[in-house]
Structure 1
């Protein structure tokens, strides 16, 4: 599949990429360990650390339970109703929270669930005096379910739609009712998917930063990542930040280990490949319609609220605001640079896999395994932890403001890397399997192979990965929050500062702009997806 010179080039690029990732994260971790020596008076098990760890696990556990339990009836209803008008748009709608910046979603949730939101207005009209509080644990749970319920629905729906058509034909011939269909056909599939889906959602909730920072409402609702930010920006207590970072790495490492142990390959039943046609669910039409309607209303309401509040803002004044211009330009430059760097890192990471197959050389296999692990390193060491290490290092060198943009670019690139690799790897593996031997036999190698064979075939997944990496970088607040006081103003940081100063009208206008830009980047890829695709990342 590769010539010797191509394999050497891929190996060299892979080695350089692995060294870069390990060095960047290793320097941050080393600085944290050095500063930990100054915090000898601290302890990893004092009451404060125990409290925030307990709250981190509590909110992640409850968020996961709500997301997964609510996703089961929604996925079943969508799987049963395969032909109604608008089904494809509902599935696309479920992808929008994945590409929406957390701050934009938080503002929409406040508009819907806040003290003056739609829900509390309805409750007041019904004579209920106690409004729903969107700040604290309740707001965090609502926001996490908003983001993770659609994710869980898509993953469970993909599994249900892989059930062979012969199962449904047999169930109809046997006259099985809905309960028997769920117990004997659907539940075994859902049960096999639940550990992975629940583990993924729990991981996302446990490492949530922006949602908790925005909707936490005070010290009683603080997670480990938010406590790291507070220790640096408010208390300026580096030893405490180091201890919290170590605790966060320990927590994420344990979660990743559990995810790896729970992950089981999907069992594919034999099938002739006939078109799926379900004969069950005739009695559940009304129930399915109510479930799908409630899901659409819950998912779409914050999005519509952001649009409505954004259009009601003083957009002409915001349009000439120089600070908004500066934030937009900074965000676009950082996101373009980080997306480009992410692709530069991802391509050798993806290419090293096929290059190491059927090769007896141990170093090449070790390099492939190392790159695969390094591509997910940011899941083990979250962005706020890496940013903390580099902040302490640059502060010691006296160049925080000067070098912060470059650090933010790299952190955002590494943050998007696991997702980009999962977009590119299947497409690249399939492409190499189809064209690799023929390219070598025809002598189309090196740059000619890239130009005439690889790029035309991989243009679409490359563009999708690039747009997704840009959207993730545009909406990220974690790295910028650590360096934000040093003159770096991005759209998420501007939105966060406007919300913090109760300038809600300006915040709504900024949120509308940020949401439109991110959705323009992610919508083309979601629109071209099949309904059984995506987000294992």
Structure 2
């Protein structure tokens, strides 16, 4: 097999994988259109004052969440990048956990820390101040900042890592003061990552489901995603659900297109933080300020994990672990997560290798560039589609050919697999791209193809980030409540769904214990990251 044939096979396989993912997303919507037996009406929902209020609240909470996450992440990223202490990389790795922590467990932790009976409220009451109420916009904002501020900080640290070493050396040689370093080096790097980070967080907040479902507190704090779920779960009105979903897709797609026009990837790569040696002048005042920012930021991220640990230990863990329902739910969660992560990893790797074949192939014309951009865009478009809509569509389709309960696990696995793709692509993609930029032409010249090219070029580059990607997607699927919330039943129960049931029946002690179990398993899964980064240090993205 020659290199041209090998490239064509890679491109063909990647296009097929991307079409499979997009077909799954669009197929679910088409099935709902057929079931509703009418064209989706977007104008009618917008004429409804309640829907307009939902739309306004969705935009407001997403905008405020994005603003708070980015504004708080910038000084934290600067402080972490300037910091010179042994635990810096450990903190950067810790910042991976909020995205992988089961959202339901995170929401419970927010209640424990910031609720009326939480630690912060007790402290406020002790000094004579009113207690906090986390149900509504306040709780949603706190939860979104907890999950997304560390993500934004990591993206900004990665942008600072990409500053050429010569820039830091020149700043040191010229003895530039801190403000000048910020204005000429740090801010341009942050500004380049700002559109992409903001767009990614905005899309995640617009499509937020579990946080709003748990912390919304009523109709006044409902988003489009929750309204779609209610239209399908309680009213079974596919036409209304699709109309609301189209509104949500248009909103998030406009943000995606805007970032693509700006030339920024809305889900740029992130890793565990590379080595960036700085030579700019030290400032004692700035070092003290940076240390304070790092401590406060780390405490904000760590406190929910501590809350989960403390409240969970107060539950009857022995009884919970021995409970047959909990054991079955845990096994089901692990099987679903393993299947979803494996499928997502396979599809994402095929798409990535196709992108690299198109980028570094001989004479990449306009058609190849267009195909490459299409593949890159396809991996981000899944962020704008509601998993509830997709799952409902395919669930109804499979109901025509098989038993409903038998179809549910397959729908949940496929939905979780597709939804994890953007994160996997952004974890593995930068390393694979760098490897092909450095050795791709040499591999072409040597005629490396097939398994030999994969073993000598692709695998060494992907091995470490692949461990992170698999563990990350495994944890995301393990703690997901999006698809299972619609299709969970007495015969198909995962740990997040069981946790939601115990919360609904006001069994708070059991809910706290299950949240701890979810968190511990997630941390154990994320322990696979250590394997991915064992050995030599990884360079910055």
CA drift at 1:145: 0.7
Of 433-442 and 502-511, more deviation after overlay is shown by 433-442
**Aligned residue for 2:112?**
111
CA–CA distance in structure 1, aligned partners of residues 352 and 407 of structure 2:
29
Q: 8 Å contact 1:164–1:276 — kept in the other structure?
A: no
Of 19-28 and 340-349, more deviation after overlay is shown by 19-28
Superposed CA RMSD in Å reads 3.2
Q: 8 Å contact 1:2–1:440 — kept in the other structure?
A: no
Q: 8 Å contact 1:401–1:486 — kept in the other structure?
A: no
CA drift at 1:19: 3.8
**Aligned residue for 1:484?**
488
* CA deviation map 1:449-475 (0-9, x unaligned): 556775466433333322222111111
CA drift at 1:5: 4.0
Of 19-28 and 454-463, more deviation after overlay is shown by 454-463
**Aligned residue for 2:64?**
62
Helix, strand or coil at the partner of 1:149: helix
Q: 8 Å contact 1:14–1:367 — kept in the other structure?
A: no
Q: 8 Å contact 1:2–1:355 — kept in the other structure?
A: no
CA drift at 1:415: 0.7
Counterpart pick for 1:499 among 491, 497, 503: 503
Q: State the aligned residue count.
A: 526
CA–CA distance in structure 1, aligned partners of residues 8 and 162 of structure 2:
40
Q: 8 Å contact 1:134–1:215 — kept in the other structure?
A: yes
Q: 8 Å contact 2:2–2:447 — kept in the other structure?
A: no
Q: 8 Å contact 2:28–2:392 — kept in the other structure?
A: yes
CA–CA distance in structure 1, aligned partners of residues 176 and 444 of structure 2:
55
Q: 8 Å contact 2:124–2:131 — kept in the other structure?
A: yes
Helix, strand or coil at the partner of 2:493: coil
CA drift at 1:283: 2.1
Helix, strand or coil at the partner of 2:488: helix
**Aligned residue for 1:270?**
none
CA drift at 1:110: 1.1
Cα gap change, 1:525/1:148 in structure 2, threshold over 3 Å: closer, same or farther? same
| 2:409 matches 1:409 | no
Cα gap change, 1:371/1:313 in structure 2, threshold over 3 Å: closer, same or farther? same
Helix, strand or coil at the partner of 1:37: coil
Counterpart pick for 1:512 among 513, 516, 521: 516
Cα gap change, 1:213/1:533 in structure 2, threshold over 3 Å: closer, same or farther? farther
**Aligned residue for 1:198?**
198
Counterpart pick for 1:301 among 292, 300, 303: 303
Counterpart pick for 1:71 among 58, 62, 73: 73
Cα gap change, 1:74/1:457 in structure 2, threshold over 3 Å: closer, same or farther? closer
- Which aligned pairs between 1:219-368 and structure 2 lie closer than 5 A? 219-264=219-264, 275-356=277-358, 357-359=361-363, 368=372
**Aligned residue for 2:31?**
31
CA–CA distance in structure 2, aligned partners of residues 391 and 308 of structure 1:
39
* TM-score of the superposed pair, with normalisation by structure 2: 0.87
Cα gap change, 1:499/1:155 in structure 2, threshold over 3 Å: closer, same or farther? same
Listed as ranges, the gaps of 5+ residues in structure 1 are 267-272
CA–CA distance in structure 1, aligned partners of residues 454 and 430 of structure 2:
18
Q: 8 Å contact 2:395–2:407 — kept in the other structure?
A: no
* CA deviation map 1:198-248 (0-9, x unaligned): 222212211111111111111111110011111122233222212111112
CA–CA distance in structure 1, aligned partners of residues 357 and 186 of structure 2:
39
CA–CA distance in structure 1, aligned partners of residues 171 and 448 of structure 2:
53
CA–CA distance in structure 2, aligned partners of residues 431 and 386 of structure 1:
35
Q: 8 Å contact 1:99–1:472 — kept in the other structure?
A: yes
CA drift at 1:434: 5.6
Helix, strand or coil at the partner of 1:44: helix
CA–CA distance in structure 1, aligned partners of residues 88 and 434 of structure 2:
29
**Aligned residue for 1:141?**
141
CA drift at 1:368: 4.3
Helix, strand or coil at the partner of 2:38: helix
**Aligned residue for 2:272?**
none
Listed as ranges, the gaps of 5+ residues in structure 2 are 267-274
* CA deviation map 1:41-95 (0-9, x unaligned): 9443311211111001100111111111122222232233x32343332222222
CA drift at 1:265: 8.6
* TM-score of the superposed pair, with normalisation by structure 1: 0.88
**Aligned residue for 1:17?**
17
